[in-house]
Amino acid sequence: MQKSLRVVGDGEKFADLVITVNVGQENECIYLIELKYVTKTDATEAKIQNTIKDATAQVQRYKSAIEFRDRQIKAYAMVFVGSECVHCG
């Protein structure tokens, strides 16, 4: 699900995927996933590395959202070239 987040200094942003596990329990965990795609024809090493850098920075900004304050967040940036995931971290 896409979720609107209030990021301090950045205003309203939209995460690609937010999954909450064990809602309302002591061990509640939120998974925040940012997805990026590079076409095979555009997939130079430089383009892939820039996309990874951008996705990682974006997910780090989203982790600081007001909605996530004092909550356990696991955040991932995933970059695909065609149907192949070339980065998940």
Instruction: Find the mean pLDDT for residues 81-87.
Output: 95
pLDDT for 68: 80
pLDDT exceeds cutoff 60 at 20:
yes
Distance CA 28, CA 47 (A): 36
Pairwise pLDDT comparison (2 vs 13), residue with the higher score: 13
Task: List, edge to edge, every strand of the sheet that includes 29-38.
Answer: 17-21, 29-38, 73-81, 84-88
**What pLDDT, in 10s, does the model give residues 33-61?**
999 999 999 999 999 999 999 999 999 88
pLDDT exceeds cutoff 70 at 11:
no
pLDDT for 46: 97
